[in-house]
Amino acid sequence: MEMEKVKYIDLFCGVGGFRHALKSPGSQCVFSSDIDPDARLIYAQNWGEEPAGDIGQVGVAEIPPHDVLCGGFPCQPFSISGNQGGFEDARGTLLHEILRIARHHQPSVLFLENVKNFLSHGGGETLAKTIELLNRVGYQVHYSLLNASRYGVAQKRERVYFVCFRKELGIEDFQFPVPSDEDVAVEDILLPKGDRRLDDLIIQRSDLRLKEKMPTERENRTLRIGTVGKGGQGERVYSPKGHAITLSAFGGGIGAKTGMYLIDGQIRRLHPEECRRLMGFPDSFKLHDRPNVSYKQFGNSVAVPVVRKIFQSILPILSGRTLQAA
């Protein structure tokens, strides 16, 4: 007897990080949504279907039944790179869209992601209120702060993940995946030396200050080797023998969005295709034709390998239980 596929919806889907992570013969995406037209464009080019627009304009009855609700909250309201507007920011109310859909469809699992700063935002009140609201609509909440750097991704990217089971399932405990600490580094994801597309990414500064001794061994952490300017955020130089800093949709400084790295004797930022690899997307994944849009999209995306490993921990719990969308 063929097992029922796990049906999921992809809210605030961006370019489809969750979808790529959950892609398998045993799962099926039945709905997606994002308010950003550029994100919808790239999602459609890669997945063959255009997501719905503003989820606030979509009635719950228009959304198919599903087992798992996936959603990465928009990063900016809770990120130290943004304005920290929190729930007062319009995008903060997207939690209420999640609650609205969950209350109606009662999927077995809510699988959510947000930035690290979500945990401390408002002195912890934002997190407490989020858990309270999720409890009210019938979910047992499990959450953990995971760093992609420890899950096979050559990037320091700390995010808080929520795995919330419907209370009737009686799942009191959930174990997030154990770190794998794989040997990965920025040098693994670089485009070939001599690629002319990299020329525009080279940074030449008279105030560049580099350490005398450079790393010769790979390490699973960021390796700062120099600075420009005052050495603030976006003005630090790193070794490709280590991990990348967090890719960001925002942020300032000459190395904004990707950071700066000493590669083949030159200081440069990363190319969008290198960012694609850093987030765990395949080389076949189609990019926006404007690089700045691609930087923003990958800065807003989830780290695919981390989400995939969490989902692999969710699946055994769902197997053998009656799926909501079956």
pLDDT at 287 over 60: yes
Query: pLDDT tens digits for 181-213?
Result: 999 999 999 999 989 999 999 999 999 999 999
Q: Which comes out higher in pLDDT, residue 324 or 252?
A: 252
pLDDT at 76 over 80: no
Q: How many residues does the chain have?
A: 326
Query: pLDDT tens digits for 135-149?
Result: 999 999 999 999 999
CA distance readout (Å), 8 to 22, 36, 85, 134, 210: 9, 21, 30, 18, 48
Q: Name the pLDDT band for 324 (thresholds 50, 70, 90).
A: low
Which positions are catalytic?
Answer: 75
pLDDT at 81 over 80: no
Q: What is the pLDDT of residue 325?
A: 53
Q: What are phi and psi of 139, to 5 degrees?
A: -125, 140
Any idea which residue has 């990063």 for tokens? Answer: 75
Q: How far apart are CA 77 and CA 114, in angstroms?
A: 10
**Is the separation of the CB atoms in 88 and 97 below 8 Å?**
no
User: 19: buried, middle or exposed (CB in 10 Å: 19+, 13-18, 0-12)?
Assistant: buried
Q: Which comes out higher in pLDDT, residue 281 or 75?
A: 281
Following CA atoms 18, 20, 26, 32 in sequence, which dihedral angle do they give, to the nearest 10 degrees? 50
**Is the separation of the CB atoms in 122 and 279 below 8 Å?**
no
Provide, rounded to the nearest whole percent, the portion of the chain with pLDDT above 90.
76
Q: Name the pLDDT band for 172 (thresholds 50, 70, 90).
A: confident
Number of H helices, E strands in the chain: 7, 11
Q: Name the pLDDT band for 98 (thresholds 50, 70, 90).
A: very high
pLDDT at 77 over 50: no
pLDDT at 308 over 90: yes
CA atoms within 13 A on the CB side of 184: 21
Q: Burial letters for 146-160: b for 16+ Cβ neighbours within 10 Å, e otherwise? A: bbbbbbbbbbbbebb
Q: What is the pLDDT of residue 250?
A: 82
Percent helix, strand, coil in the chain (nearest 5)? 35, 20, 45
**Which residues, at least 6 apart from 247, have a Cβ–Cβ distance to it below 8 Å?**
155, 157, 257, 258, 275, 278, 279, 295, 298, 299
Q: Name the pLDDT band for 320 (thresholds 50, 70, 90).
A: low
Q: Name the pLDDT band for 128 (thresholds 50, 70, 90).
A: confident
Mean pLDDT, residues 158-165 taken together:
97
What is the pTM assigned to this prediction?
0.91
Q: How far apart are CA 27 and CA 22, in angstroms?
A: 7
Domains of the chain: 6-182+298-318 (3.40.50.150)
pLDDT at 89 over 90: no
**Strand residues in the chain grouped as ranges (E):** 6-11, 27-32, 68-72, 109-115, 139-147, 158-166, 209-210, 224-227, 236-238, 260-263, 266-268
pLDDT at 150 over 80: yes
